[in-house]
Amino acid sequence: MIKIAVLVSGSGSNLQALIDANLSGQIVGVISNKPEAYALERAKKAGIQTAVIEHKQYPNREAFDDVMHRQLLDWDVDLVVLAGFMRILSAKFVKAWEGKMLNIHPSLLPNYKGMHTHQRVLNTGDVLHGCTVHYVTAELDAGQALAQGVLKVNLDDDVSSLANRIHVLEHVIYPQVVEWICTGTVQYTEQGVLYRGQAMQEPVQFCKL
């Protein structure tokens, strides 16, 4: 059984979606860099181990990441899921978990990497918006995309309404991708990512128009 750790900084709605999904794998631990994160309460209610590793207590990013890395090894983790984890990870940490770490980003990558995606979509006047689950690489928001949730931008949408609508999609596609990895439907190999035994060319798309 795949052992999963979830890294969080905030309320943990994606963590809750993963807990509720009854995955084939097991969430063995939740790490937060913020002791007040409500995600920790969600984990405790579900009987999942938690660890608070405050980034402010370490002299640099590498030292902080090293403590997280050791915690993950202690839990014997197979897959790391970033769920609202608001820290940029060091290249060394990312390399150590290459092919074993996922993130979800609130845009249709490769469009709108980085921050403030909803406002940027509104500014540009895009018809479609969404979210992308991807493998984490040292380059920000550049790892291979595995799935995308796509929605149509409404004329009356603002940043808040788009964020809320995107969250609904996130809670569908993130557990789905994690389940694919747990069951071997998605595999990370030296030759590339496989989906159902075939080379994955494009992310699987889920539409909510």
Any idea which residues carry the catalytic annotation?
105
Q: How many residues does the chain have?
A: 209
Distance of CA 70 to the CA centre of its chain: 20
CA distance 136 to 141: 7
Q: For residue 173, give both structure tokens.
A: 């596609």
DSSP state of 35: T
Across the beta sheet with 128-135, the strand order is: 49-52, 26-32, 3-8, 79-82, 101-105, 128-135, 145-152, 204-208
